[in-house]
Structure 1
Amino acid sequence: MLHRSADMAGVFFASLKQTLQNPRVRRAGAALFLFLAATLLLSFRFYPERVNLKVGQVAPRTIKAPRTVVFEDKVRTEELRREAASRVPRMYDLDPRVVDSIITETGEIIKAVARVAGDQSADVQAKEAALREALPFPLADGVIKALVRTPPAKLDRLGRELGGIIQQVMADGVRQEDLVAAKKAAAERIEFLSAEPAEKALARAIVQHTLRPNKFYNAARTEMLQQEAAEAVAPVEIMVRAGEKIIGEGEVVTPEHLAKLKAVGLYEARLSVAALVGVAFTVLLLVLGLFYYLYQQHREIYRETSYLYLIALVIAGVLLVAKLILAINVRQASGFSAQLGYAVPVATAGMLLAILLNARVAAFAVSVTAILVGMMTGDELRFMLCGFLTGITGVLSVSRLSRRGDLVRAGLYVGGAAVFAAVAVGLFSGTPPQLLLPVSLGLGLANGLLSSILTNGALPVIDYLSGITSPVKLLELTNPGEPLLKRLLMEAPGTYHHSILVGNLGEAAAEAIGADILTVRAGAYYHDIGKLRRPSFFIENQMGQENPHDKLAPTLSTLIVTSHVKDGVELARTYRLPEKIVEIIEQHHGTSLAGFFYQKALEADQKKPPNERDFRYPGPKPQTREAAIVMLADAVEAAVRALGQPAPGQVEGLVRRIIKEKLYDGQLDESALTFRDLEMIAVAFTKVLSGIFHSRLEYPEREGGKEDSGGSDSPKPARKGPGAGESDVAG
């Protein structure tokens, strides 16, 4: 039974291990780690909550301000602005067309009455019926009977007088709420007319029917004036001095108390479930957006799970540092503490990821980190903007890292950007003038310094844990004090100097075509370390000694020479060189032909030609532009060195011939180099070599047959012998 249980447990753990090694599961794990880390850091605090009071609650203890703060009393400011807005009267627009329309309508009614009254062909009953039909409102029978007997001339005069009354009543405008009063005023004026009662009754009926508002409420204009009045109210600023009592024990909490507690950073509201869900959902969207961007734009990074964990760790690390910095907000009594968001080193994430991955990924990660920092600081837009600006500055300042001093310079750039951002954001966010300059200089420069220190400190750890080779690691490898380079200098000095020249050539070519300069330089320095196993078998290390290849068969010589690639790979792995350097060592000869020994074998046995494949390097061919550059630089340096004292133009011809031979031999097929790249490489090689093999003076012999010593510029005879000029022997 126990044996069966053990077997089941073994199967379970084996299945679990296989599941965890699945790339999809590992990618999901990286996303989950970043989501949980960011959510926890944004939601919870490392320090105890100070106070959590509510309006109307009795304060359990006396609370004093830990520092001096000037802040805006938003509640009081809002009250004053509402009062100012309420004092703005409602604005109305007067429409003159309404009065014209009313007078026209009044005239038409009067004309209709006059037309009926003046009809001589109809009897009285017919006129009364026609008048009732023509009027748009009812009138008493007595008024109707009187109107049909009224002369048209009197009715015309009534119309003119009534029109004047309407213009007088509506001259200042009539609002809807004033309509009843306007009709009453018109009726009162009608009573003073020198007209018959029936005519006045008609006039009153016309006014009641036709009069309507001509003054209308303008909501947009009113709101604009109210807003202007509210904005004209200056913010109510309150100063809380360090040591001042904010609330005493036993006092009832008011909104003013809470405003002061929040301003000095002593008020911490407990995070509600709804707020926690909101934070988690926002973080989830940001994490999914980051990973989707990597999937769409950088598939090679998305597929490499170690890169995903690196991105997650860098962002989480910056958030952790931000949390520690912001914790000072409630612990210190300094005027800086409320502005400490400016010191959050978001640029660290940008600099690390730009160095280790690429600038575009770093810029996107900076955007995500800046948003998270803004949320962490209480949705402070100013800190988010400062983080974004400094982060992008950090990305740009290290995108072409080529020497150690670049990281220090990048820190200065980030500090300058932080100072500028703090000033700019502080001006429009209302930072008190007495704090603006100290905050900008102090926290801005601290941001740059901290970003540089964290980047420098994190790179070696990341190099060791992740296996990703950073430019700083490559810079360290090119230090002459590195163990392998010291061995190369002492045990194979010719190879060492050859490697340095190859590095100079490769660096110039890499810069010309935009390849990785540091990778090329480091790869060139170490490409021939395999020659440490048998340094005397390579012509540059023989120093006038007898060439051992003179006594060996060509096949054996080829085996010894080509084995320096395999020996170099083994030595590189022993010394834990980065994988990209190991690949250059392995690929720097590709499947090239050891031409000198192949030709020697042909001459030795012309009846049975040797198999060419036995005289080729094992490969593989260069897989990257950097490996191809090292191959070309290696071959060119060895060949040009064999020329001795080249004539002008001879160097360029040789450079182009060697590049062409490598191209036609298929050695560059898998390296992604273009014909344009090869042209630029040839120009770069020629420029460097022309500076090395420049024309030299011939010094006359002194008396006694001794030559004048011209130092390092004195001409030296070209080295002759087996393998001279062959890259497989000399380089």
Structure 2
Amino acid sequence: MLNLAALRSRVLQRLAPLLGQRKVRRGGAAMLFFLLITLLITIEFVPQRLNLKEGQVATEDIQAPHSITFEDKTKTEELRRQAASAVRDQYDRDPLVSGKVQQDISATIQGVREVQSDDKVDEGTRAGRLGEMLPFALSRETLVALSRPAPRSLEQLERVVNGLVAQAMDSEQGITPDKLESTKAGLVEQVTRLGLTRPYQELGQGLIRYYLRPNSFFNAEKTRLLKEAAMDTVPPQMVTIRQNEIILRPGDVVTKEHLAKLEALGLTQRALPWKVVLGSALLVALLMVVVLLYLYQQNREIYQHAGHLYLLGIIVVVVLAVSKAMTAINIPQWPELGNLVGYMMPVAAAGMLVAILLDPRLAMLVVAVISFLVTLMTNGQVRFGLVALVGGFVGVYSVSRLSQRGDLVRAGFYTSAASAVAILIMGLLGDIPYGLMIASGLGFGMINGLLSSILTIGSLPYLESTFGITSAVHLLELSHPSNPLLRRLLTEAPGTYHHSIMVANLAEAAAEAVGAESLLVRVGAFYHDIGKIKRPYFFIENQMSAENPHDKIAPSLSTLILTSHVKDGVELAREYKLPRSIMDIIEQHHGTGLCSFFYHKALENGHPENISEDEFRYEGPKPQTREAAIVMLADSVEAAVRSLQNRVPGRVEAMVRKIIRDKLMDGQLDECELTFKDLDTIASAFMQFLSGIFHTRIEYPDLSREMERRRTKGAGTRKQLARRSAGG
């Protein structure tokens, strides 16, 4: 027992470094998601279908739950095989072979003729020469007979043999390799019936056996093309089944035709072939690679963030699991409706969650992938995939620009409407009765949208907190004035609250101009000075009286109090559980800037050699993002412009550009991604916003003089009326 425990301990110690590696963790998570998705789209966890086999006897009535037209693949394949088998094999003929064979035969006969005509040697010698000359063996008796001169017999033999060869080779199909021996046998048999003497029959048969060869060769490619063309002429054999049509009655023997109809209606329970599982697994792997390649090319930040990839996988798996559960719903009383429950699959929830938490463009791709998987999961019923695709796209579009929390609810209604329209269109294409089509479109479409919205709203807070993502919905909640921390800022530091509102407006305008996250900038500006709640009256915007507490303390202590509001703000943000992105803006909105007023005041108080500039700087860090840098610039600009006495446009613009230039020269913008072009755009956005606040006003006349003039005019009018009355 101790040995096993020690062995297990050593194994865990060896595996711990391996499991801690980033690539291993990501690979394990990818494999887990791959297996889960493959199982969801291939395996039927709640089988509710008929388990019938060919030759089995039906025990109950089986009716078609809906109308369908499908292709009888077995019958179509049989007819196509028949059409292909009717096509004859195609051969290519070599026209030179026939002439060459006849030339070889004539040359051999000419040699025999020359031997016969040689009268200088005896008959035995001529027979020996014929045996050496002929390429095939003949008996000694035949050679002796052939050595005797017989010009007419040789001429007749040459004419007959060449005629037979030409006839065989010039036939419709010629001589093919597989028919060579049978053709030789047929020609040899014909030679015996030509009336030639036995020696010349044997010579002719030998010539045919030796010289005859194929002149027609099989063309596999041409034959294949013709067979395929013949198969293509056979149209698909379509079978139409009407709703409530009886497929099987009690006592009927199940045939292939019955099984084909039941399979088309989705009523059969088939054993899951490994080929289907393998194909589905490869397809899932391919789709995962496509999504990862898209992220690598278009959104490297998500690709490199393991948590975001895990979040994406969880969303896909959960939505597919819910969709799988939808397909298991069975309504015995209304089988027609039971075959339409797939329209309720909440694919739009995946699109909305990915759009809110990660990226709207990625959400579009995810919706397309899930819709494709839904089609596979429902045995190729494209109607469910198309409805899911339409609803998902509308859901992503509805939440891509959230401006308030009610937009999530509206997104659900938009998804419902889009799904209902798509279901109605699918009903028209599928020849569904109008009453059922309208009921399913309105009912299932509404359920689809509402379920997607409920899943999104319900799971959003948990996903945000688990993966540390700040969504637009959370930011909108934080921006509401009823937020406890903002209410504290309003009541305990009203000047800072007003200042934060102005900074938020400035920063939001600049963020929109440069393409930064404007909502994050606005909410971050709301909270950037919450640390001032602890000592509000040490900040000038909260000082209602002329008395300034900094006049009574040393500049170094004043600097310490001012700079501590950053640390106090981070502590409050942590206490109230603000998102990390907001805490970063709070921590970085002053960077390592210098408290120049108190620094110069300390220099004026004497002993400048003992004063270090670092003691009068904020602790930092410098802004790391464009959003934090924009809040820093807006904060400085708002405070500086508010302190201007004469706020004419020229002076305001000069002040704005000077502040941005000073921050740049001080190195406060070195660690963010703002470019010089961005800084110029930000300055223009600041000026456009400030010009709407500090615009030139109409100079109204002195109200006291205007009132005196009206009283004088009124008194003169009353005197004139009195004189007229007296004269009357």
The alignment's TM-score, normalised by the length of structure 2, stands at 0.76
- What CA distance in whole angstroms lies between the structure 1 residues aligned with 2:650 and 2:148? 128
Match of 1:699 in 2: 699
SS at match of 1:109: helix
- What CA distance in whole angstroms lies between the structure 2 residues aligned with 1:571 and 1:511? 28
Correspondences of 1:305-384 after superposition (within 5 Å): 307=308, 309-328=310-329, 344-358=345-359, 369=370, 373=374, 376-378=377-379
Q: Is the 8 A contact 1:477 1:522 kept in 2?
A: yes
SS at match of 1:246: strand
- Unaligned 5+ residue runs, structure 1? 1-10, 708-731
- What CA distance in whole angstroms lies between the structure 1 residues aligned with 2:669 and 2:418? 44
- What CA distance in whole angstroms lies between the structure 2 residues aligned with 1:286 and 1:147? 79
**How many equivalent pairs are there?**
684
Match of 2:90 in 1: 91
Compared CA separation, residues 43 and 228, structure 1 to 2 (3 A): closer
Correspondences of 1:565-644 after superposition (within 5 Å): 565-605=566-606, 610-644=611-645
**1:537 Cα deviation after fit:** 4.2
SS at match of 1:434: coil
SS at match of 1:599: helix
Tell which deviates more after alignment, 171-180 or 92-101: 171-180
- What CA distance in whole angstroms lies between the structure 1 residues aligned with 2:164 and 2:608? 135
Tell which deviates more after alignment, 581-590 or 279-288: 279-288
**1:322 Cα deviation after fit:** 1.2
Residues 256-311 of structure 1: CA distance to partner in whole angstroms, max 9, x if unpaired?
A: 23223322232223558x68986997699689979998999999868977546533
Compared CA separation, residues 123 and 619, structure 1 to 2 (3 A): same
Q: Is the 8 A contact 2:408 2:457 kept in 1?
A: yes
Compared CA separation, residues 113 and 276, structure 1 to 2 (3 A): closer
- What CA distance in whole angstroms lies between the structure 2 residues aligned with 1:124 and 1:45? 94
Compared CA separation, residues 209 and 384, structure 1 to 2 (3 A): farther
Match of 1:173 in 2: 173
Residues 694-730 of structure 1: CA distance to partner in whole angstroms, max 9, x if unpaired?
A: 5x255253474689xxxxxxxxxxxxxxxxxxxxxxx
Q: Is the 8 A contact 1:416 1:444 kept in 2?
A: yes
Correspondences of 1:629-668 after superposition (within 5 Å): 629-648=630-649, 650-668=651-669
Residues 160-186 of structure 1: CA distance to partner in whole angstroms, max 9, x if unpaired?
A: 554344323322233445546644664
**1:495 Cα deviation after fit:** 3.5
Match of 1:73 in 2: 72
Residues 34-57 of structure 1: CA distance to partner in whole angstroms, max 9, x if unpaired?
A: 467546645665645332222223
Tell which deviates more after alignment, 25-34 or 308-317: 25-34
Match of 2:209 in 1: 208
Match of 1:102 in 2: 101
Q: Is the 8 A contact 1:242 1:333 kept in 2?
A: no
- What CA distance in whole angstroms lies between the structure 1 residues aligned with 2:433 and 2:571? 59
Compared CA separation, residues 608 and 166, structure 1 to 2 (3 A): closer
SS at match of 2:247: strand
Match of 1:239 in 2: 240
- What CA distance in whole angstroms lies between the structure 2 residues aligned with 1:627 and 1:271? 56
Match of 1:552 in 2: 552
Q: Is the 8 A contact 2:602 2:608 kept in 1?
A: no
Compared CA separation, residues 222 and 672, structure 1 to 2 (3 A): same
Compared CA separation, residues 199 and 71, structure 1 to 2 (3 A): same
Compared CA separation, residues 180 and 494, structure 1 to 2 (3 A): same
Compared CA separation, residues 192 and 72, structure 1 to 2 (3 A): closer
Compared CA separation, residues 95 and 303, structure 1 to 2 (3 A): closer
- What CA distance in whole angstroms lies between the structure 1 residues aligned with 2:418 and 2:675? 39
Residues 476-503 of structure 1: CA distance to partner in whole angstroms, max 9, x if unpaired?
A: 3234454444554566554344333323
Match of 2:3 in 1: none
Compared CA separation, residues 444 and 231, structure 1 to 2 (3 A): farther
**1:453 Cα deviation after fit:** 5.4
- What CA distance in whole angstroms lies between the structure 2 residues aligned with 1:192 and 1:275? 63
User: Structure 2 counterpart of 1:471, which letter?
Assistant: A
Tell which deviates more after alignment, 413-422 or 652-661: 413-422
User: Structure 2 counterpart of 1:570, which letter?
Assistant: E
- Unaligned 5+ residue runs, structure 2? 1-8, 708-728
- What CA distance in whole angstroms lies between the structure 1 residues aligned with 2:222 and 2:336? 43
**1:349 Cα deviation after fit:** 3.0
Match of 1:112 in 2: 111
**1:596 Cα deviation after fit:** 1.9
Whether 1:522 aligns to 2:523 is: yes
SS at match of 1:238: strand
SS at match of 2:559: helix
- What CA distance in whole angstroms lies between the structure 2 residues aligned with 1:34 and 1:479? 38
- What CA distance in whole angstroms lies between the structure 2 residues aligned with 1:476 and 1:485? 11
| Sequence identity (%) | 48
Q: Is the 8 A contact 1:66 1:332 kept in 2?
A: no
Compared CA separation, residues 201 and 618, structure 1 to 2 (3 A): closer
**1:586 Cα deviation after fit:** 1.9
Match of 1:228 in 2: 229
SS at match of 2:54: coil
Residues 543-562 of structure 1: CA distance to partner in whole angstroms, max 9, x if unpaired?
A: 7x425246433344434433
Match of 2:135 in 1: 136
Q: Please give the root-mean-square deviation of Cα atoms over the aligned residues, in Å.
A: 5.0
Residues 552-588 of structure 1: CA distance to partner in whole angstroms, max 9, x if unpaired?
A: 3334443443333233333333433212112211221
Whether 1:499 aligns to 2:496 is: no
Compared CA separation, residues 682 and 118, structure 1 to 2 (3 A): farther
**1:408 Cα deviation after fit:** 8.0
- What CA distance in whole angstroms lies between the structure 1 residues aligned with 2:242 and 2:94? 58
Q: Is the 8 A contact 1:91 1:221 kept in 2?
A: yes
Match of 1:6 in 2: none
The alignment's TM-score, normalised by the length of structure 1, stands at 0.76
Q: Is the 8 A contact 1:555 1:614 kept in 2?
A: yes
User: Structure 2 counterpart of 1:71, which letter?
Assistant: F
- What CA distance in whole angstroms lies between the structure 1 residues aligned with 2:307 and 2:90? 67
**1:590 Cα deviation after fit:** 1.8
Whether 1:434 aligns to 2:431 is: yes
Compared CA separation, residues 37 and 92, structure 1 to 2 (3 A): closer
User: Structure 2 counterpart of 1:252, which letter?
Assistant: V
Q: Is the 8 A contact 2:588 2:620 kept in 1?
A: yes
